[in-house]
Amino acid sequence: MHEQKVQRIAAQLKAHPPGSPVSLRKAGVSHQVPKSGDLRHKDSKIDVSDLTSIISIDPVNRLCTAESGVTFVDLVDATLKHGLVPIVVPELKTITIGGAVAGCSIESMSFIHGGFHDTCVEYEVITAKGHVIIARPDNEHALVFQMMHGTFGTLGILAKLTFKLVPAKPFVRLEYETYASVDAYRDAIERHTAARDIDFMDGIIHSSKRYVLCLGHFVDRAPYTSNYEWLKVYYESTATRTEDYLSTPDYFFRYDRGVTNVRPNSWIGRLLLGKFMASTEWLALGRKFHRLLPTESPTVTLDVFIPISKLTEFMTWLDRELPHYPLWCVPYKRVHDYEWLHDAYWKQLPDQMFVDIAIYGMKQRKGDNAHRRIEEKLRELGGIKTLISHNYYSETEFWQIWNADNYGAVKRVTDPDNLFRDLFVKTCRAAMGMR
């Protein structure tokens, strides 16, 4: 069955005339930030919408093999029946496992494990010429394996992934620690990371004087459970509570109504619409009406990864130059020096931990380009950003950060005629409406 789907996708690729780029047609919504002129809306499509099956769950070896279009909500539902969950579960229900690898996903176990891709052991990749490659960290396609992450589908189509699972319990108990300064907050992140006294860690920064660290433990029993799928907003609860209990699936998807940019944001709006309008529905609307989105000074929805030693400097700068709260914060361990970043980048970086600061829903002043200012600040501090949002890098600057040699080496194997576009062109030009 899976093989037939792969053959059908390969046949579409082989039949596609050279010279015009393609994008993927998935079953669900894309969690890229919707952009008004994104050229992918005009591309010919390779239909991968039937890659939605979980192929196997092996409870003994704690491994799962699934097609790339499986969503995390379906995956958690299936693996929990075996008392297991994926090691890294991104917080929005309909993010897919293929999208998590190709587009960079993180969550509150990232302080131990890095990204979802760091828990993967094998990818099946369909190349632009319709060949199938099995890539593992220890076979002849090791570089293909390492480079698939964050390449936004420009190095081939992920068809099937095998990844690790961990034992889970039915509930998560949350404790909230509040700090008045970023230095104290950073120390607490480092302390909990060193002690490994928790299963989950993320945080909400409510203001420059209120930093909340959300610490989670799997537990067997809960005296009560909260739910944030309708009227109550999870991030708001962290400002007033000191403790909470959620069922494990509700914990994983606690931000599904929006992380810090919850819509509708009024209580009455949520009463009327909140039950039906989660992140999936809003993103579907954004895609449908993308032409109506502003091209000038678009709202900032952006994840930036700051080396933890520079967190105070970055937060002080952000508060002075681009004050916006609340911010979501996800500590992220340097588990592997990723091949997709330039060697020089890793050489200058002493830190073993990043802190992802998610700036979601920041309005820009007219005429300002906050995206660009943040890119420049990141370069100064040795930070990086994911490419799901608006990107303003020049080509030279881009390839001083991303690894052109490794990228080119894989591209020659998986997409020699550049059917999927190159990474810079796809994320910094085509996504921004430029050829």
Please report whether residue 388 would count as binding ligand FAD according to CB under 6 A: yes
Measured distance CA(140)–CA(145) in Å, rounded:
10
Looking at beta carbons only, is 153 or 383 nearer to ligand FAD?
A: 153
Please report whether residue 32 would count as binding ligand FAD according to CB under 6 A: yes
Please report whether residue 92 would count as binding ligand FAD according to CB under 6 A: yes
Please report whether residue 119 would count as binding ligand FAD according to CB under 6 A: no
The contacts of residue 327 (CB under 8 Å, 6+ apart) are 204, 205, 260, 357, 358, 359
Nearest to 164 by CA among 120, 123, 200: 120
Candidate segments 89-97, 134-142, 183-191, 217-225, binder of ligand FAD by CB under 6 A: 89-97
Instruction: Sort strands 300-307 and 384-385 into parallel, antiparallel or unpaired.
Output: antiparallel
Contact 41, 293 (CB under 8 A): no
Residue 366: CB minimum distance to ligand FAD, A: 23
Give the CA distances from residue 324 to residues 108, 224, 301, 320, 321, in Å, rounded to whole numbers and listed in that order.
22, 33, 12, 10, 10
Token reading at 61: 């070896």
Among the listed residues 96, 119, 178, 248, the single contact to ligand FAD using CB under 6 A: 96
Please report whether residue 339 would count as binding ligand FAD according to CB under 6 A: no
Looking at beta carbons only, is 38 or 199 nearer to ligand FAD?
A: 38
Please report whether residue 311 would count as binding ligand FAD according to CB under 6 A: no
Measured distance CA(319)–CA(304) in Å, rounded:
15
* Sign, CA torsion 79/85/91/95: negative
Please report whether residue 33 would count as binding ligand FAD according to CB under 6 A: yes
Looking at beta carbons only, is 146 or 344 nearer to ligand FAD?
A: 146
DSSP states of 191-225 as a string? HHHHHT--SEEEEEEEETTEEEEEEEEEES--S--
Nearest to 185 by CA among 205, 200, 166: 205
List binders of ligand FAD among 275-304 (CB under 6 A): 301
Among the listed residues 176, 211, 255, 424, the single contact to ligand FAD using CB under 6 A: 255
- Per-residue contact flags (x/-) with ligand FAD for residues 35 to 74, judged by CB under 6 A: -------------x-------------------x------
Residue 113: CB minimum distance to ligand FAD, A: 13
Paired residues of 141 in beta bridges:
none
Measured distance CA(272)–CA(275) in Å, rounded:
8
Identify the helix (H) or strand (E) that includes residue 166. Answer: strand 157-167
Among the listed residues 105, 127, 238, 280, the single contact to ligand FAD using CB under 6 A: 105
List binders of ligand FAD among 144-163 (CB under 6 A): 152-153, 157-158
- Per-residue contact flags (x/-) with ligand FAD for residues 158 to 197, judged by CB under 6 A: x---------------------------------------
Residue 153: CB minimum distance to ligand FAD, A: 3
Helix axes 182-195, 311-321, angle to 10 degrees: 140
Task: Output phi, psi for 21, to 5 deg.
Answer: -70, 160
Looking at beta carbons only, is 209 or 336 nearer to ligand FAD?
A: 336
Please report whether residue 106 would count as binding ligand FAD according to CB under 6 A: yes
Helix spans in 55-168 (H) = 72-80, 97-103, 110-113, 142-147
Please report whether residue 89 would count as binding ligand FAD according to CB under 6 A: no
Binding site for ligand FAD (CB under 6 A): 24, 26, 30-33, 48, 68, 90-92, 95-96, 98-100, 102-103, 105-107, 152-153, 157-158, 255, 259, 301, 388
